[in-house]
């Protein structure tokens, strides 16, 4: 039995843990520059600091991010993951306008509510209702940079844009992380 068998779902409920994947439009490798990864990290840290989200694990890849998270409190009228996508889009578009206008053209859309789309619509959200599921997804997250198609590191904890070092060595530059075991007991 495949415990990860699911229908594509982008809806998330408060106070539930999710494996959440957000992907850059058209799978473009927009997140290769560290400055864009830093934008995502800073936004995660801010949402955690404001007690709107708990982050149990993550990896930021060149064209997508996987995050093991829990939505704790609304950010005004928005759920925190929506705020994350909106704020990261605005920050990235601002930088692209200033520094890489030729790249920004790839993200132009004819939509009534926006001129540019950084993230694909309908990110994947899979509820993690057991410690085993969360552990397996965390392993998947941490091993993502090692996949042959990426080859970004030799060992999970060597990839700088992931929570792997937090779990492997108990040392991390990401002080916004919470161990998933604390949530699942």
More confident residue, 47 or 8: 47
What are the tens digits of pLDDT across the range 80-104? 999 999 999 999 999 999 999 999 9
Q: pTM to 2 decimals? A: 0.93
Answer yes or no: is pLDDT of 134 > 90. Answer: yes
Average pLDDT, the chain: 93
Provide the number of structural domains found in the chain. 1
Q: Please state the rounded mean pLDDT for residues 170-175.
A: 84
Query: Does 66 score more than 50 pLDDT?
Result: yes
Mean per-residue pLDDT for 61-65? 98
The answer as to whether 6 is a domain residue is: no
Render pLDDT for 140-149 as a digit per residue (tens, 0 to 9): 999 999 999 9
Q: Looking at the domain assignment, is residue 1 inside a domain?
A: no
Residue 8: what pLDDT?
54
Distance CA 124, CA 66 (A): 9
Is the separation of the CB atoms in 56 and 70 below 8 Å? yes
Q: What is the pLDDT of residue 5?
A: 46
- Decide if 124 is inside a domain: yes
Question: How far is residue 123's CA from residue 120's CA, in Å, rounded to a whole number?
Answer: 7
Q: What pLDDT score does 24 carry? A: 98
Q: What is the DSSP string of 92-123?
A: HHHHHHHH-HHHHGGGEEEETTEEE--BPSS-
Distances (CA, A) of 2 to 54, 136, 145: 27, 12, 23
What does the alpha-carbon distance between residue 128 and residue 151 come to, in Å, rounded to a whole number? 27
β-sheet with 53-60: strand ranges across: 53-60, 64-71, 17-23, 124-127
Q: What is the CATH number of the domain that holds 131?
A: 3.30.70.1290
Contact between 174 and 181 under an 8 Å Cβ cutoff? The reply is no
* Residue 135 structural domain: 17-184
Asked if residue 68 is part of any domain, the answer here is yes
């Amino acid at each position: 039995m495949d415990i990860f068998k699911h229908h594509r779902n982008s809806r998330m409920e408060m106070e539930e843990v999710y494996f959440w994947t957000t992907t850059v439009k058209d799978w473009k490798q927009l997140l290769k520059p560290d400055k864009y990864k830093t934008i995502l990290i800073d936004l995660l840290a801010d949402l955690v600091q404001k007690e709107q989200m708990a982050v149990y694990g993550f990896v930021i890849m060149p064209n997508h991010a996987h995050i093991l998270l829990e939505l704790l409190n609304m950010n005004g009228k928005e759920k925190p993951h929506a705020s994350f996508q909106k704020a990261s889009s605005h920050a990235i578009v601002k930088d692209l306008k200033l520094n890489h206008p030729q790249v920004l053209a790839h993200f132009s859309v004819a939509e009534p509510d926006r001129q540019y789309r950084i993230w694909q619509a309908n990110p994947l959200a899979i509820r993690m209702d057991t410690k085993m599921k969360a552990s397996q997804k965390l392993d998947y997250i941490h091993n993502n940079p090692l996949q042959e198609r990426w080859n970004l590191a030799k060992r999970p904890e060597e990839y700088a844009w992931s929570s792997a070092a937090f779990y492997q060595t108990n040392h991390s530059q990401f002080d916004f992380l919470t161990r998933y075991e604390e949530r699942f007991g």
